[in-house]
């Protein structure tokens, strides 16, 4: 059985502890913006049904001239300044800021004793009940599990759990690290992160 170590701030490099929290805020804001679907839509005067001829004669009626009932000021007419469907919500975050945001998220976990390092995370049976037992043994609300490489059996065991999310090391980012109550990370991945700092 792999040994589990609770990481504290004293176990982290200095670079993890000197990061301003605003880096994490900016990264999470950019990440959430990138998830926006951009599906807001309103029909313009060219898209609503109707029109095609003048509603009444240009002259002689005593009313203001009108060209089409699809104009925005008519009931059922098109929307004049509706939401744009080609809007780009992406926000730029540079590489250094992404790294700093992740460092701060992990440091916060360590400060609250919710960062666990294990030699190996593996459910060889591939059974969900064994993954549930693993998560329950940690006594945490929900868990982000970070493996260096996900094997098929471990993937099958974790894929239906609502309170655990299994990812590979290259998928780890500050948003995920901040979104979960606690993190379980393999020692090889943790050593690589701390070495880079």
Alpha-carbon gap, residue 150 to 116, rounded angstroms: 18
Each residue of 65-96: pLDDT tens digit? 999 999 999 999 999 999 988 888 999 999 99
What pLDDT, on the 0 to 100 scale, is given for residue 8?
A: 92
So what's the pLDDT on residue 86?
A: 84
Task: Check residue 6 and give its pLDDT.
Answer: 93
Extended strands (E) in 60-100: none
Q: Which CATH class is domain 4-13+94-196?
A: alpha beta
Residues of the chain where predicted confidence (pLDDT) is lower than 70: 1-2
Q: What is the pLDDT of residue 3?
A: 80
Question: Where are the extended beta strands (E) located within 45-189?
Answer: 115-118, 143-147, 164-168, 182-186
Answer positive or negative: Cα dihedral of 151, 128, 177, 112.
negative
Question: How confident is the model at residue 140, as a pLDDT?
Answer: 93
Q: What pLDDT score was predicted for residue 105?
A: 97
Q: Is the dihedral of CA 140, 145, 151, 157 positive or negative?
A: positive
pTM of the model: 0.82
Give the pairing of strands 164-168 and 182-186. Answer: unpaired
Q: Encoding tokens for residue 187?
A: 């020692």
């Amino acid at each position: 059985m792999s040994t589990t170590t609770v990481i504290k701030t004293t176990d982290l490099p200095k670079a993890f502890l000197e990061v301003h929290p605003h880096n994490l805020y900016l990264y999470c804001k950019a990440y959430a913006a990138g998830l926006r679907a951009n599906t807001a839509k309103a029909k313009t005067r060219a898209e609503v049904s109707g029109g095609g001829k003048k509603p009444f004669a240009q002259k002689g009626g005593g009313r203001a001239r009108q060209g089409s009932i699809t104009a925005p000021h008519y009931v059922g007419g098109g929307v004049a300044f509706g939401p744009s469907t080609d809007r780009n919500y992406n926000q730029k975050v540079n590489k250094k800021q992404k790294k700093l945001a992740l460092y701060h998220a992990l440091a916060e976990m360590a400060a609250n004793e919710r960062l666990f390092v294990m030699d190996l995370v593996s459910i060889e049976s591939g059974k969900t009940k064994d993954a549930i037992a693993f998560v329950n043994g940690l006594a945490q609300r929900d868990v982000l599990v970070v493996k260096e490489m996900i094997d098929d059996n471990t993937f099958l065991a974790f894929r239906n759990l609502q309170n655990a999310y299994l990812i590979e090391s290259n998928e780890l980012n500050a948003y995920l690290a901040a979104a979960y109550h606690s993190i379980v990370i393999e020692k090889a991945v943790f050593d690589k992160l701390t070495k880079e700092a």
